[in-house]
Structure 1
Amino acid sequence: MKTAMIVDDEVVVVRAMKKRVNWEKFGISKVYEANSMKQAIEIFRKTEIDILFCDIEMPEGSGLELFEWVKEYFPYVECIYVTCHPDFEYIRKAMRLGSFDYLLKPIDYEELHEVLGKAVQRADANMLVKEHVHQRARKYFNDESGPTHSSSDVVEKIKEYVKEHIQEEISMGDIAEVVYLNPQYMVRLFKKKEGISILEYITNARVKMASDLLRETDYSIYQVASLVGYFNYSYFSRVFKKIIGKSPQEYKKGMR
């Protein structure tokens, strides 16, 4: 059985939809209600939602913003917008986010049943994706590093991961698995918090470690390059000089 949620700041609209739609006919056992983006997110954090009906224009966070958040954590959710704005720009943004369809107010319930039936069929096809993604999302929301804590905690976990894997090839997907975030969202969060991209941070961390090794050990430049994750010597030299202002050879010589 599936679940659905109706998000609309107009309580009368939510109640009418709950009453007039034959949810059980579509295999939907529970329909949740929310009157704001904040309320909807709280429900998503605690339970599984398959189908989302959402108004576009709402105070304290639009339906477009809500679905953008949903797609970060629960990409399997099928979203149907219910709006009184037949404006092309709204619809274009909704479709760009990957919404399943949209309905105009006042609601034509025959059309709603038709759209819901198709959305349920697509939700059935997403079951395997749902199981995998939901496990990760639940772990993230229940973990102490989840949204109950600040973005600083996530950034620190990223930095810790980079430090521990500095000798290896580091991918955004690997880091995202550790912090339980969508890679694109993780990259934006890090840059907003730190002012540089994760890739820039990794490069700076590698060059900083390389300079320390060149200054404090007798390792050859080739050894140092491999110890900080660079296996192409010439590329390492170019990156090092760009950041430090000297080639590894010049830097090592100046330390004597």
Structure 2
Amino acid sequence: MIRVLLIEDEELIREGLRLTTPWQEWGMEVVGEAADGETGMNKILELKPDVVITDVKMPKMSGLEMIEQLRGQAACEYIILSGYDEFALVKQAIHLEVQEYLLKPVDDEELRAVMEQAARKVHRKRVMKQRLAQYQEEEKGYSMDARNIQDKYLDRAKEILRERYQENLTLKSVADVLFISDSYLGKLFKNRTGYTFLEMLTFYRIRAAVEYLQNTDKKVYEIAYAIGYNDSKYFSRVFQRVTGMKPMELKNGHPLPEDHILRHL
């Protein structure tokens, strides 16, 4: 069950969310409510919800201030529900890695889609936590040298890149999943692979693009979007830098060299 906390200073909106949203049907439950950011912060630390739906402008502390204060203390997904369509607020929300910024009145289907996406992230976190717990359990009773531990972290990080390359992954977001620091993970990538995190993410995206170009009729801009790029021209430049050829050249039958790194990921 996904645990949800509602933070909204307008009681009518807060109660409406709690009473009219089919939480049980979505596999969720509302574990608490708050009417201001300060109380909301305390509730998050106390109840440890998986997902927090919060307003932006509230008494005592704004929703964004609350999220900023909780960085490093809470592992929940945040969804902003706001009546203010202001670029500065949206930009700050993006900086804080908020899951979504929704405008009031929120559409039921839009909320459902966003909550489903948040639930998928929560489930992935739980699976990762279970796997790490298993790793730790396996390590009991015998000594494991530092290199083997590094291998596990690096292998899992590369698995995340293979599975989720189309998402807006960052070094920090992957490190958070592994419960290690981003600086440690960054050094692992560079020291053990010879490439930075961003270079490895780019390789996995471009490898997927190669598969699309060779095996589908998708257009270049469609492929760019499918692998995580919103700008098809930028994608083409990256593709050419990595492969040495333009996307259409590969689509028209020019093969990658046999020893190209993309063949060995």
What is the TM-score with the length of structure 1 in the denominator? 0.49
Larger radius of gyration: 1
What is the TM-score with the length of structure 2 in the denominator? 0.47
